[in-house]
């Protein structure tokens, strides 16, 4: 499904994001009781999708199922009309979350699926038949997406997000109607991080582990329970650290590090029945050569390192960034918690939530620094136990500038306004490679060619990394430009960066030009122009 993406820049591909989002739900749904009602299962599924959502496609998918679950709340079984109504509410949730809905995408596919289900939902029509009608409507809409979006028609493909939704609906139909779980043709798990990433995580974790046991579980809350989850969190913080308690109406998701896992489990039993219980000895994991890979599935590195997240400060920052150099710059400008991610590595809602909860502040500003991460950050905000504001920064250049313009003497609202005004004045040139053959603005692009982008738009196609960077930066440099910062990535050299800087200094003698080892993947250069 990733191959359907028509934009040639390597990114957090739609298929991978949707697969990882669904996998997060599958793990928790598998722990449901065999006699669980359709309302209970859909609630668990929606909650897990929300926390596991990656990329815009994953977030939209989670919103569809959140509306679906909301409609099914309290249902033991779902009839045809109930299914149709649930799909319609899912459409409503998804469309409301997107500021400017675009037809010819996953939104169109789910809307047409719901419309087809509604037409089929007559009194004598079974739920299975209604769902099959939804699948037919979704497929028909998917086939029409190229006629709605010229870029799809030119590339000769359907919308990737829409195709992903069709696969999911068909998979559900197979289970509902035939009792058969469809097997994927691709046996490679999209969830497994590469060995390099795992080693980097392991290197970031402290050697001395104060609390040995990582405990996780989900509480199916008793209707009669009047206890506040805040008390549960307070208790867990008193016996350990890295505490995350997420209250989602009918369930409570708990994560904590302690030396008393039995007490952690016992505390949750006061609130209801526990499912999906997991206890792991982190010291033992750390001693194992593969510890890093295990830890990456447990909690993000930043949460593991931090011992507590008491709200001791008025304000704090979370930033999404990739590359040791760029992450260090964010730390230097005052960012408390870093979520490792960006292009090709879209963090989940839960990843961002964990970083927010690990930030010792009453009000946390989140810098997504990528357009595909903004929605996931916005979904994380209401799950936190503190005030969260998401600044819609689309590049690391904007994120760094926003953080630099924070003024502790101003209130949150004034800071938000000032930080975004400053960020919007920053232009960003990026240089990467074409991940696939494509055609952009009438120009044919071959896989492997060098691409120069100006504020996210491909404007330069070259065979030289330095030449592409120079052309893109030159186009963005204006008369009032005072500073150009060149961040060179893991696949470019200091020598190339200095060559580029020399070319820019020669062209713009009154502009301060500097090079920084950003160490970022994917992009040979990220160039900030202020």
201 found inside a domain: yes
Spatial distance between the Cα atoms of 252 and 191, rounded to a whole number of angstroms: 24
317 and 273 in one domain?
no
The whole-number pLDDT of residue 216 equals 80
Instruction: Mean pLDDT check: name the lowest of 237-241, 416-420, 431-435, 494-498.
Output: 237-241
If one counts every other C-beta atom within 10 angstroms of the C-beta of residue 308, the result is 12
Average pLDDT over residues 285-294: 40
188 found inside a domain: no
Going by pLDDT thresholds of 50, 70 and 90, the confidence category of residue 53 is confident
267 found inside a domain: yes
183 found inside a domain: no
CATH of the domain at 257: 3.30.70.980
264 and 375 in one domain?
no
Residue indicated by tokens 């502040």: 361
34 found inside a domain: yes
Domain that holds residue 46: 2-178
274 found inside a domain: yes
Dihedral over Cα of 485, 434, 330, 194: its sign? negative
CATH of the domain at 415: 3.40.50.510
164 and 121 in one domain?
yes
Spatial distance between the Cα atoms of 194 and 327, rounded to a whole number of angstroms: 20
The pLDDT tens digits for 313-356 are 999 999 999 889 999 999 999 999 999 887 667 888 888 998 99
Mapped to the 3 state alphabet, what secondary structure does 481-499 carry? CCEEEEEECCCCCHHHHHH
E-assigned strand segments in 228-281: 240-248, 251-258, 272-281
Instruction: Mean pLDDT check: name the lowest of 82-91, 177-186, 296-305, 388-397.
Output: 296-305
156 and 245 in one domain?
no
456 and 410 in one domain?
no
> Is the pLDDT higher at 501 or at 51?
501
Q: Read off the tokens for 281.
A: 């000895």
The whole-number pLDDT of residue 30 equals 84
Work out how many domains the chain is built from and give that number.
Answer: 4
163 and 24 in one domain?
yes
Contact between 271 and 252 under an 8 Å Cβ cutoff? The reply is yes
Q: Which of 300, 394, 398, 350 is nearest to 59 (CA)?
A: 350
114 and 205 in one domain?
no
Answer with the one of 273, 301, 329 that is the final residue of a domain: 301
286 and 393 in one domain?
no
- Residue 295: pLDDT above 90? no
30 found inside a domain: yes
- Residue 201: pLDDT above 70? no
Percent of the chain exceeding pLDDT 70 equals 85
Answer with the one of 301, 319, 335 that is the final residue of a domain: 301
Residue indicated by tokens 């931090």: 306
54 and 154 in one domain?
yes
CATH of the domain at 100: 1.25.40
The pLDDT tens digits for 352-390 are 998 999 999 999 999 999 988 999 999 899 888 899 999
Going by pLDDT thresholds of 50, 70 and 90, the confidence category of residue 431 is very high
525 and 448 in one domain?
yes
Answer with the one of 409, 424, 439 that is the final residue of a domain: 424
Spatial distance between the Cα atoms of 56 and 392, rounded to a whole number of angstroms: 13
Q: Read off the tokens for 340.
A: 């490792």
Q: Mutual orientation of helices 127-148 and 160-173 as an angle, nearest 10°?
A: 170
30 and 84 in one domain?
yes
| Pair type for strands 313-321 and 361-367 | parallel
Instruction: Mean pLDDT check: name the lowest of 22-36, 282-296, 404-418, 438-452.
Output: 282-296
Spatial distance between the Cα atoms of 339 and 378, rounded to a whole number of angstroms: 15
Q: What is the mean pLDDT of the chain?
A: 83
The whole-number pLDDT of residue 166 equals 94
Instruction: Mean pLDDT check: name the lowest of 43-47, 194-198, 211-215.
Output: 194-198
523 found inside a domain: yes
The pLDDT tens digits for 463-504 are 999 999 999 999 999 999 999 999 999 889 999 999 999 999
321 and 297 in one domain?
no
> Is the pLDDT higher at 296 or at 217?
217
The SS3 call for residue 183 is coil
The CA angle 44-49-51, to the nearest 5 degrees, is 100
């Amino acid at each position: 499904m990733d191959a359907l993406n028509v934009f040639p820049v390597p990114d957090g591909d739609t298929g991978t994001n949707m697969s990882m989002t669904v996998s997060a739900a599958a793990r928790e749904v598998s722990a449901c009781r065999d006699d669980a009602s359709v309302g209970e299962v859909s609630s668990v599924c929606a909650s897990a999708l929300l926390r596991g959502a990656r990329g815009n496609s994953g977030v939209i998918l989670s919103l569809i199922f959140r509306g679906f679950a909301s409609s099914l709340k309290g249902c033991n079984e779902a009839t045809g009309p109930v299914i149709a109504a649930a799909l319609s509410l899912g459409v409503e949730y998804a469309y409301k979350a997107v500021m400017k809905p675009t037809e010819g995408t996953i939104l169109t596919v789910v809307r047409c699926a719901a419309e087809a289900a509604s037409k089929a939902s007559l009194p004598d029509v079974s739920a299975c038949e209604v769902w099959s009608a939804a699948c037919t409507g979704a497929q028909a809409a998917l086939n029409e997406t190229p006629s709605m979006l010229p870029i799809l028609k030119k590339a000769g493909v359907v919308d990737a997000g829409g195709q992903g939704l069709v696969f999911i609906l068909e998979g559900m139909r197979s289970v509902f109607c035939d009792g058969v779980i469809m097997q994927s043709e691709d046996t490679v798990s999209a969830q497994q991080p590469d060995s390099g990433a795992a080693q980097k995580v392991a290197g970031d974790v402290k050697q001395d582990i104060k609390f040995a046991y990582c405990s996780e579980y989900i509480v199916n809350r008793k209707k009669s329970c009047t206890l506040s989850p805040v008390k549960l969190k307070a208790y867990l913080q008193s016996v350990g650290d890295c505490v995350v308690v997420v209250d989602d109406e009918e369930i409570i998701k708990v994560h904590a590090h302690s030396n008393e896992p039995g007490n952690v489990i016992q505390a949750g039993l006061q609130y209801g029945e526990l499912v999906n219980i997991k206890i792991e000895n982190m010291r033992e994991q750390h001693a194992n050569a593969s510890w890093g890979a295990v830890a990456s599935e447990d909690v993000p590195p930043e949460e593991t390192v931090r011992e507590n997240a008491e709200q001791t400060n008025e304000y704090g920052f979370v930033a999404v960034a990739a590359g040791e150099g760029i992450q260090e710059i964010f730390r230097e400008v005052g960012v408390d918690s870093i979520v490792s991610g960006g292009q090709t590595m879209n963090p989940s809602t839960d990843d961002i939530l964990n970083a927010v909860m690990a930030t010792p502040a009453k009000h946390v500003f989140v810098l997504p620094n990528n357009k595909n991460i903004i929605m996931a950050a916005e979904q994380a905000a209401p799950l936190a136990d503190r005030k969260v504001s998401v600044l819609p920064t689309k590049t690391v250049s904007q994120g760094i500038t926003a953080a630099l313009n924070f003024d502790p003497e101003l209130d949150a609202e004034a800071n938000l306004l000032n930080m975004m005004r400053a960020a919007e004045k920053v232009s960003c040139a990026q240089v990467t490679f074409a991940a696939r053959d494509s055609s952009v603005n009438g120009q044919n692009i071959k896989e492997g060619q060098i691409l120069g982008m100006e504020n996210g738009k491909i404007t330069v196609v070259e065979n030289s990394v330095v030449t592409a960077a120079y052309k893109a930066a030159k186009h963005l440099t204006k008369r009032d430009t005072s500073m150009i910062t060149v961040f060179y990535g893991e696949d470019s050299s200091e020598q190339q960066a200095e060559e580029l800087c020399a070319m820019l200094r020669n062209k713009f003698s009154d502009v301060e030009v500097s090079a920084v080892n950003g160490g970022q993947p994917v992009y040979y250069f990220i160039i900030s122009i202020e």
